[in-house]
Chain A
Amino acid sequence: MMDAGTLTRSDSTRDESAETTLLSVHNLKKYFPVRDGLFGQKNLRVHAVDGVSFDLKKGEILGLVGESGCGKSTTGRLILRLLKPTAGEIRFMGENIFKADARRLRELRREMQIIFQDPYASLNPRMTIGTTLEEPLIIHRIGTRKERRDRVRQLLEKVGLDPDVVNRYPHEFSGGQRQRIGVARALALNPKLIVADEPVSSLDVSIQAQVINLLQDIQEEYALSMIFIAHDLNVVRHISDRVAVMYLGRIVEAGPAPDLYHQPLHPYTEALLAAIPIPDPNIKRNRILLEGDLPSPVNLPPGCRFYSRCPKRIPDCLKEDPPLIQIRPAHWAACILAK
């Protein structure tokens, strides 16, 4: 029987309390070894994710933002257990996912899916769309052949594609259409959680809006929880309930989207927001130009990681790496000056 086959799970989950925690990430760390020099001293490590903690509620969309190298994609991959952490814990509906054995992991993977950035690289060019979408159902032994085929057609319709495209190959589709296929694939097993890693950043402006609307629709229909990883702060503001800003492997600020964007607490968030160009020449803003580049994640600077580029730094910032503290209701920041 097709236990996950119906597309109307939202009815049953909607009754549950929206406050229930689906995912809980605690002090997550991932260090990658780097080889330096000819003989590879292995004690050097890239601190890609360096102590990240957050909760995700059922039906919530959490935006994870930051610039390249901040650790946002690594965090997403750790949540899906595509990478093993150096330290820390991730609980999915109370269960520590790093303790799951291979069989349990397979079951867990049904519940958590990913949408990748590049719809060109993430679809197998030699598989028809029908096969691509049916594959997860076969792997998880869901339904009869006919039921699976029906499900594939249903999924295609759901993401706004003609169900008759099942026999076509990825190259016959545009970027926007491929990303719709990526969304359909993520939905195939009726997951509870979707990690979307830069899902619209390779799409043209006019197509981006179509895919964002689609993601919003499916999130509402299935009461999905979503981690939306992106560097585009406009998109993240639009889609997220809550936003976490990352810098050099740490969350430096997290809070409800409207609050974080209107009253940012961390100087890095302020600078990010000030740097977004606004498509209205009449709006003149104060530019906060950050000095220099991101410091190396191998040799982390002492004290606050943002010190070297911070326009508000004071000597005290060098004393310790500030912890993430709740400054306003549900609004956290890791800055000794935040109040």
Chain B
Amino acid sequence: MNPAVLSIKNLKTQFHTAEGVVRAVDGIDLTVRSGTVLGVVGESGSGKSVTALSVMRLIPQPPGKIISGEVVFNGLDLLTLKENEMQKIRGKRIAMIFQEPMTSLNPVFTIGNQISEMLRLHLKMSRKDARTRTIELLDLVGIPSADRRVDDYPHQLSGGMRQRVMIAMAISCNPEIVLADEPTTALDVTIQAQILVLLEELRKRLGMSLVLISHDLGVIAEVAHDVAIMYAGRIVEEAGTDELFAHPLHPYTQGLLASLPRFDTSGGRRERLKAIPGTVPKMTENMHGCRFTPRCGVAIPRCSQEEPPLKEIRPGHRVRCWVAFGETS
């Protein structure tokens, strides 16, 4: 078992909105092991992106606030750092890749400028060295004729190429961890395949850890070593990837897997998908018991009264479900 490089303990992040307090992340624990990929799965509003932004201390405040918890990175609790100390870690030792590269790149600067800026700021490189290194990085992420492309503006590149630039920027300072939030969701499937292969190659080569946030269980199955499933601000299940896909224990995880149409096993048109009924709960509601109860097909009375703990019930496999614990009505 590789040692932990990042451990999140009891993290709670909330947003104050007109409709009330949104408990986006409501007490989660996560561990990223060195040199591995942790997949975080969840649908919109599950809290997966807010988790990453909390680690980076990029929660807009107000309306957001990290209420409690610890984010321990190599023995250092990031939540206790001053902003100027955090700046030395953010982008340098922990980097982030966002879903939509066009909104995270500055349209008025060349891509070379934007990567060089990181190198000069964090690694104190000279202008000339930074440019040379930038070209190397662009080359490394597979941008053809990098020595010319370095002077392009973001709009001159395709979506896939922009995401490569974002990756070059993320790895520019040799970070220990990269947090990738839906890095391939905006891309076409053939380009997604290219980017996933690139991320995997770079991760191995540079010995980084990767947190891959995705709604796509297929992407997670291909890339992650460990998986955490989030629902309504909570982790409901976590395990090694092989174990999780072979023995999903939480009714939500089981439901997600069963609801996916799959080209390789599909019986085609006459087959009905096993949809999960209902919708995700409003996060402003006061929730009693397990948050999945209203949509759950196997719920027992206890589920709506008392929230189950996250408990290990198979080796290395933890789940938050009374029914999975063997309780019956």
Contacts and interface: CB of A to CB of B under 8 A. Distances in A.
A193 B86 CA distance: 57
A277 B217 CA distance: 8
Contacts of A257: 268-269
Contacts of B94: none
A330 interface: no
Contacts, number: 137
Contact of A275 (B161, B192, B277): B192
A67 B264 CA distance: 20
B215 interface: yes
Contacts of B295: 206
A67 B269 contact: no
B221 A206 contact: no
A213 B260 contact: no
A276 B218 contact: yes
Interface in A239-289: 239-241, 257-258, 261, 271-283, 287, 289
B279 interface: yes
B245 A277 contact: no
Contacts of B262: 234, 237, 278-279
A238 B276 contact: no
A281 B242 contact: yes
A67 B188 contact: yes
A210 B274 CA distance: 8
A335 B166 CA distance: 36
A231 B263 CA distance: 13
B269 A233 contact: no
B189 A212 contact: no
Chain A interface extent, by class: 35 or more
A237 B261 contact: yes
A235 interface: yes
A204 B222 CA distance: 20
B255 interface: yes
B279 A293 contact: no
A196 B29 CA distance: 41
Contacts of B160: 293
B219 A277 contact: yes
A136 interface: no
Contacts of B268: 237-238, 257-258
B158 A289 contact: no
A67 B257 contact: no
A131 to B, nearest CB: 24
B102 to A, nearest CB: 13
A176 interface: yes
B202 interface: no
A289 B256 CA distance: 28
A337 interface: no
Interface string A193-214: 0000000000011111110110
A87 interface: no
Contact of A278 (B192, B218, B246): B218
Contacts of A241: 269
B280 interface: yes
B9 to A, nearest CB: 28
A182 B217 CA distance: 27
Contacts of B255: 206
Contacts of B59: none
Contact of B190 (A61, A208, A280, A290): A290
Given A238-B266, A293-B161, A279 B218 contact: yes
B190 A205 contact: no
Given A210-B277, A239-B269, A279-B257, A287 B197 contact: yes
Contacts of A290: 190, 193-194
A216 interface: yes
Given A234-B263, A275-B190, A293-B158, A281 B245 contact: yes
A278 B264 contact: yes
A233 B264 CA distance: 10
Interface in B238-279: 241-242, 245-246, 255-257, 259-264, 266, 268-269, 271-277, 279
B192 A205 contact: no
B216 interface: yes
A209 B188 contact: no
B276 to A, nearest CB: 4
A280 B246 CA distance: 8
B306 interface: no
Interface string B163-206: 00000000000000000000000001111111011000000000
A68 B189 CA distance: 10
B190 A174 contact: no
B43 interface: yes
Interface in A178-228: 204-210, 212-213, 216
Contacts of B242: 281-282
Given A237-B266, A279-B260, A293-B161, A206 B276 contact: yes
Contacts of A68: 159, 188
Contact of A272 (B159, B161, B189, B274): B189
Given A237-B266, A289-B193, A281 B188 contact: no
A274 B259 CA distance: 21
Contacts of A280: 221, 245
A238 B159 CA distance: 28
A281 B263 contact: no
Interface in A122-150: none
A210 B272 CA distance: 10
The 4 closest A-B pairs by CB, nearest first: A277-B218, A238-B261, A209-B275, A67-B188
12 contacts: A174-B280, A206-B295, A210-B276, A231-B188, A234-B262, A237-B266, A278-B221, A279-B257, A279-B260, A281-B241, A289-B194, A289-B197
Interface of A: 61, 67-68, 174, 176-177, 204-210, 212-213, 216, 231, 233-235, 237-241, 257-258, 261, 271-283, 287, 289-290, 292-294
Given A238-B273, A261-B266, 11 more contacts: A206-B255, A206-B275, A212-B261, A234-B260, A238-B261, A238-B271, A240-B269, A275-B193, A281-B221, A289-B193, A290-B193
